[in-house]
Amino acid sequence: MHTAEPGAVTATDLEIAVLGPPRHPSPLASTLVERRSSLHWVDEGDRVLFDDTLGIAAGRDVPISLLPSMEPGGPRRRLYFDPATARAGVVSCGGLCPGINDVVRGLVLQLAQYGVRTVLGFRNGYLGLVPPLGEEPLELTPASVRGIDRQGGSLLGTSRGAQDPEAVVDTLQRHGLDMLFVIGGDGTLRGAAAIAAAARARRADIAVVGVPKTIDNDIPYIDHSFGFQTAFARAAESIRAAQVEAAATPYGVGLVKLMGRHSGFIACYASLACHDVDVVLVPEVPFTLDGPRGVLEFVRRKVEEQGHAVVVLAEGAGQDLVPPDGAGAADASGNLRLADIGGLLRRRLTEHFAEHRMGLNLRYVDPGYAIRSVPANGYDGVYCTRLAHAAVHAALSGRTEMIVGRWHGRFVHLPIALVTGVRNVVDPEGDLWLTVLETTGQPPVFDG
């Protein structure tokens, strides 16, 4: 679900900025199959329909040709930049996420496939693009990125916080760069849009293309974010460990806090992967701790019935229940600092069991940083590589101020303004949350 319904998106919202008409034949012509029926080349007249149901499409009451649609990702026959002389930059920003190195590697190898000879990697996020804070960029080559996909973290490092877009464009022009690939979440992508706007104001031909990175899966209008599958699979391992610990002790409760500031996708998917979770708490669904229909009493009854219980919560769940205690201030990325819902629930469960003279054995697990730092699994590794290839195809063709993503199984181009204007969240009325309720057996609401 998205905080803005798909039906509200118009054809104008999906238009992609282009620096100019294509001027150069693609050097990939010698490696791709050249025949009329080939699916390798993107037909510039082709579009991917945005609506995924007949009801939404019919409700627009417009001809098929006027339905909202997206540019397909992929190689073009003609390019805006000449790969033989083009120069590119790469930067990763924000928190760590499985797959960043896979994206960096994919970008470098695909640029080399086109014949781009110079690729610079800027260190420590946008800081690396603003002197005197930034170090000299790394020269990225196929040899220097060999094997980095087997490492967690980011070869380039990362940081949070915005930098002056004018200073960033100064740096890009000083290095003679034609393209900047930005790997990051919504705050990073807003920064990328500001950089693209500053370049446009100078009439500088610099393509800015984003590869969206968010471990919480909260970027809208894409099937899912890279690293998400690795994250929830690793989170599921932590839940299984908590379940084993809880089952091995009398009155055992496993309490697992997972990532998810505003969106509870990791908590939902990781819990469904385990089948042994009794309660899932997410930011999108308010809940009450106390009372006969509250969380505490439900967990206690579960322990009485089956000997143990497992509770999974997203870090942003229940923020209305936690005393601020320093929370609420913004971090360098502009995100409000969260109160510790895990600590509160741990304390209240202990008190509640004590009131009923039950000797609680609670195992509290917070695997967040351990999950963020791992390498991508096989699925995400492939997905990252394909996203990187789509980003290179887009940038060389002159597309800018956009991201690449996958929508209904097709790689597409999306404007940064569209994907940063709303947030992808779990729909409390949707099939994912219904599946969670059916699997856990928890009530639709904990309302005291």
Residues annotated as part of the active site: 216
Residue written as token pair 């915005």: 162
Sign (positive/negative) of CA torsion 315, 320, 321, 322? positive
φ, ψ dihedrals at 424, nearest 5°: -80, 125
- The DSSP H or E segment spanning 210 is strand 207-212
The rounded distance, in Å, linking the Cα atoms of 4 and 1 is 8
Residue 293 burial (C-beta neighbours within 10 Å; 0-12, 13-18, 19+): middle
Query: In 3-state terms, what secondary structure has residue 430?
Result: coil
The dihedral formed by the CA atoms of 197, 203, 204 and 208, expressed in degrees to the nearest 10: 30
Spatial CB neighbours of 128, under 8 Å, sequence gap ≥ 6 = 91, 122, 134, 135, 137, 156, 157, 159
With tokens 């909202």, the residue in question is 68
Give the closest residue to 201 by CA, choosing from 237, 165, 225.
165
HSE value, Cβ hemisphere, 13 Å, CA-based, for 13: 16
**Which tokens in the block code for residue 235?**
């989170």
> Which tokens go with 352?
């509640």
Chain center to CA of 7: 23
Whole-angstrom distance, CA of residue 403 vs CA of residue 379: 20
Pairing of strands 118-122, 87-92: parallel
Distance CA 96, CA 158 (A): 8
The alpha-helical segments, DSSP class H, found in 275-340 are: 295-306
Q: How far is CA 285 from each of CA 4, 22, 191, 441, rounded to the nearest angstrom?
A: 18, 48, 31, 16
The DSSP element (H or E) to which 207 belongs, if any, is: strand 207-212
SS3 state of residue 355: helix
What is the Cα–Cα distance from 391 to 387, expressed in whole angstroms?
A: 6
Structure tokens at 113: 């496939």
